[in-house]
Amino acid sequence: MKKYDYIILGSGPVAMHLLAKFERTTNKVLLIEKGLWGGTCPNTGCQPKIFIEGTVRPVLNSYYLAGKGIKEAAKIDWPTLMARKKKIWAAFHKNERASMTSENTDTVQGTGILTGPHTVKVNDQEYEGKQIVIGTGLSPRDLDIPGGEYAITNNEFFDLDQLPKRAIVIGGGYVAMELATILQAAGTEVTILQHSDRLLRPFDQDYVQELKQIMEERGIKFHMNAPVKQIAKDGDQYTVITTNGENFDTDLVINAAGRKPNVEGMGLEEVGVDFDSKRGIKVNEHMQTSVPSIFAAGDVADNGQPNLTPVAWVDAYHIINFVENGEKSPIKYPPVATNAFTYPEIAQVGIHEDEMEEGDYVKTLDLSDMFFSIGEGDFHAKLKVILNKDGVVRGASELSIHAAEDINNFVPLIGRKDPNKFVEENLTFAFPTPANNLDTLFR
């Protein structure tokens, strides 16, 4: 049986960051991937999305400036965009595998199945590892309704050759909102069906309401409290039926309603690794599962953190620190900044208003009257920061076309009592940029 220091299940961001650190060691690694090399983020998640949004941004930007200094809004040419996407990605996952393979790292295509605390089987071959890291991520949760199989997911969306005339997006999380933004910008009539009365749960709900309104003004329709009970197919066309009895005829149905941990069919029960089929694999403060030689990290781990790529990095780094450097202190997550790449973007770090405690207060900044925002047509831009009674920064929310980048300026401030000191030490940020808002807020 071939022996390794580490066996990694799944080649996503978890694996990528483990390998990056292993480069400086002599550890022997076996990496197992059952699907696309590189995992969700670069193949069917963050990266194809951000690639397409590179086109969406100037199109919507010019839409808001049309008649105000721009002659006409630019338009998306969907088939060309998608042909370009496919060409760029054609060899990606193979190259990714090649780049992950090295003198110290073997790669195997197949489903990894645990057979013991130190052993994994792939394609009927067994391997031994001092440590095993499970980074198997999430998959779209099937719509458990008649016709649920007619809905596509993010796995198919980014290869959509032809733009549908109409689309129904089921869900109200960031993926639903982002795909709706993309399709509407490209010219599709988009309707969002959300089962509850809340969208974008982890974000400031005032800003979410405003974002919803902005999206509605561009023509996206929202139906809240509208759980779907059936999808019927008739030729090329679908009818989506809600429990309220509403019917929606459409050309495409997208299931962006939720994702579930990849915990099945990989021997967890057999080997005694505790997990919950909704929350994922149980881990302690060192990312160890109930079997100490087996770790879990990233989306599949029940780590109490949002399922985002940088969280997978933090998990991966901690495992290495713990195993290789004998790190004693429990894993510590930096404040996690998160963003929906809608238009405008909505971003969050730390707490939002709903999570405020006694004595906390809010500072707001209207960005929409800054020449910067007026010039870009960012007519709704705004920012709020939550501080506690001692002046410690607890959270920040932003609605603007630069929210993702700007929210990062608040990451080093979360938990700091002296934001003004940080600002004074860095007062000479390039001007005019969103970072200069810090001076206005904390001078």
* Contact set with ligand FAD (CB under 6 A): 9-14, 32-36, 39-41, 45-46, 49, 111-112, 135-138, 154, 175, 262, 266, 298-300, 307-310, 312, 431
Q: Could you tell me how many residues of this chain bind a second copy (CB under 8 A)?
A: 83
Q: Which residue has the tokens 């200069």?
A: 436
Give least dist CB 30 to ligand FAD, A. 11
Measure Cα distances from 226 to 28, 128, 149, 242 in Å.
Answer: 51, 49, 19, 6
Contact 4, 132 (CB under 8 A): no
Contact 344, 214 (CB under 8 A): yes
428 binds, among ligand FAD, a second copy, none (CB under 5 to 8 A by kind): a second copy
347 binds, among a second copy, ligand FAD, none (CB under 5 to 8 A by kind): a second copy
Contact call for residue 304 and a second copy (CB under 8 A): no
32 binds, among ligand FAD, a second copy, none (CB under 5 to 8 A by kind): ligand FAD
Contact call for residue 365 and a second copy (CB under 8 A): no
Look at residue 73 and give its three-state secondary structure: coil
Per CB under 8 A, contacts with a second copy among 40-69 are 42, 46-48, 50-55, 57-59, 61-62, 65, 67-69
Contact call for residue 418 and a second copy (CB under 8 A): no
- CA 237, CA 234: separation in Å to the nearest integer? 5
Give least dist CB 173 to a second copy, A. 16
Return the H-helix or E-strand segment holding 211: helix 205-217
Q: How many CB atoms lie within 10 A of CB 50?
A: 14
Q: Which residue has the tokens 């940080």?
A: 422
Per CB under 8 A, contacts with a second copy among 88-147 are 88
Nearest to a second copy of 39, 48 (CB atom): 48
Give least dist CB 424 to a second copy, A. 7
Contact call for residue 235 and a second copy (CB under 8 A): no
| Out of 182, 257, 314, 393, the residue judged to bind a second copy by CB under 8 A | 314
- Please list the residues that pair with 128 across neighbouring strands: 3, 119
Give least dist CB 215 to a second copy, A. 19
Per CB under 8 A, contacts with a second copy among 386-405 are 402, 404-405
Nearest to ligand FAD of 36, 438 (CB atom): 36
34 binds, among a second copy, ligand FAD, none (CB under 5 to 8 A by kind): ligand FAD
Nearest to a second copy of 189, 439 (CB atom): 439
Measure Cα distances from 426 to 29, 149, 386, 439 in Å.
Answer: 42, 53, 21, 9
Nearest to a second copy of 133, 273 (CB atom): 133
Nearest to a second copy of 167, 346 (CB atom): 346
Q: What is the DSSP string of 299-337?
A: GGEE-SS-S-HHHHHHHHHHHHHHHHH---SPP-PPP--
Give least dist CB 229 to a second copy, A. 35
Nearest to a second copy of 2, 421 (CB atom): 421
Give least dist CB 75 to a second copy, A. 4
Q: Which residue has the tokens 């193949």?
A: 43
Nearest to ligand FAD of 11, 242 (CB atom): 11
Provide the b/e sequence for 195-223 (b: ≥16 CB within 10 Å): beeebbeebbeebbebbbebbeeeebebb
Which of 351, 285, 280, 356 has its CA nearest to residue 321? 285
Nearest to ligand FAD of 371, 431 (CB atom): 431
Q: Based on the number of CB atoms within 10 Å of its own CB, is 117 exposed (0-12), middle (13-18) or buried (19 or more)?
A: middle
| Out of 70, 145, 214, 291, the residue judged to bind a second copy by CB under 8 A | 70
- CA 237, CA 251: separation in Å to the nearest integer? 5
Give least dist CB 241 to a second copy, A. 35
Provide the b/e sequence for 253-274 (b: ≥16 CB within 10 Å): bbbbbbbbbbbeebbbeebebe
Q: What is the DSSP string of 248-295?
A: EEES-EEE-S-EEE--TTSSHHHHT--EETTTEEE--TTSB-SSTTEE
